[in-house]
Amino acid sequence: MATKRTYDDGCAAAHALDLVGERWALLVVRELLLGPKRFTDLRAGLPQASPNVLAERLRGLEAAGIVRRRRLPPPAASRIYELTDWGEELEPVIIRLGRWGARSPSKPDDAPLGVDSLILSFRTMFDPGAAEGLEASYELRMGENRFLAEVSGSSFEIERGSAERPDATIEADSNTLAGLVYNSCPLAEALRSGDVKIEGDEAAVERFLTLFPLPEPAVLV
């Protein structure tokens, strides 16, 4: 850590950037917000980061007390990375940063969106007004990933895991689901093509897709 670059500024925000301002550092935190991951899982979520850079960022975050590393007991015996309690406090920072970035007029609409990024975007963009009167549970299936989403009026919760008796299940890859939610891609067309499969209440699915409106782009003057 002696050679780590620093702003050498007494401002707490500057110190925070000393800790998480390196390229990929906050995205590593993003990838761990939904639970622990192996190095290979982190690589899958951050495919543009080289293994050496990713390992370096993990070492730095671990040294700073933001991430910890531990080994699961047998039979798994895998080494995983997870956020510390202090590291988890970065979630609202990433949520706010994501909402701010969504207002950028230059944000590309066709960039790929990973599974964890999509799930966190739902937490970021959820509009309680759009969910008024809705009481429903959903299971989202994206490859091997399963998420339980529950909407209860102005409340929205989503986490890893399967729903016991969901009102509806939605199965699609993350980019297809993002297109339905954020790019107004027609659900009927996605169903016909087989890109999306749903079980249960189709009307509840259609309502779910409307709960995450993007903010208005910033006006640049």
Q: What is the CATH number of the domain that holds 145?
A: 3.30.1050.10
Overall average pLDDT of the 132-157 stretch: 95
Overall average pLDDT of the 164-186 stretch: 95
In terms of domains, do 78 and 162 share one? no
Q: Does residue 2 sit within a domain?
A: no
Checking if the pLDDT of 196 tops 90, the result is yes
Domain that holds residue 180: 115-208
**Tokens standing for 159?**
């986490």
Q: Does residue 108 sit within a domain?
A: no
In terms of domains, do 83 and 16 share one? yes
In terms of domains, do 98 and 128 share one? no
Q: Provide the pLDDT confidence category of residue 3 given band limits of 50, 70 and 90.
A: low
pLDDT value at residue 74: 78
Q: Does residue 41 sit within a domain?
A: yes
CA distance linking residue 63 with residue 41, whole number of Å: 21
Q: Quick one: what percent of the chain has pLDDT higher than 70?
A: 97
In terms of domains, do 56 and 121 share one? no
pLDDT value at residue 1: 41
Q: Return the CATH number at 22.
A: 1.10.10.10
Looking at the 3D structure of the chain, how many domains does it have? 2
Q: Does residue 82 sit within a domain?
A: yes
145: left (phi over 0), alpha (psi -120 to 50) or beta: beta
On whether the CB atoms of residues 62 and 83 are closer than 8 A, the answer is no
Please state the pTM of the whole predicted model. 0.89
Q: Does residue 171 sit within a domain?
A: yes
Edge-to-edge strand ranges of the sheet holding 67-71: 37-38, 79-83, 67-71
Q: Provide the pLDDT confidence category of residue 2 given band limits of 50, 70 and 90.
A: very low
In terms of domains, do 172 and 87 share one? no
Pairing of strands 135-142, 168-171: parallel
CA distances (Å), 115 to each of 108, 120, 139, 145, 147, in order? 18, 9, 14, 8, 10
DSSP readout, 22-64?
A: STTHHHHHHHHTTS-EEHHHHHHH-TTS-HHHHHHHHHHHHHT
Q: Does residue 110 sit within a domain?
A: no
How do residues 21-46 score in pLDDT, each as one tens digit? 999 999 999 999 999 999 999 999 99
Top pLDDT among 111 and 152 is at 152
**Hey, what long-range contacts does 125-132 have (CB within 8 A, 24 or more apart)?**
125/99, 125/212, 125/213, 125/214, 125/215, 126/156, 126/211, 126/212, 127/211, 127/212, 127/213, 128/153, 128/154, 128/155, 128/156, 130/210, 130/211, 130/212, 130/213, 131/156, 131/211
How do residues 85-108 score in pLDDT, each as one tens digit? 999 999 999 999 999 999 999 988
Q: Does residue 213 sit within a domain?
A: no
Crossing angle of helices 51-63/25-32, nearest 10°? 80
pLDDT value at residue 220: 84
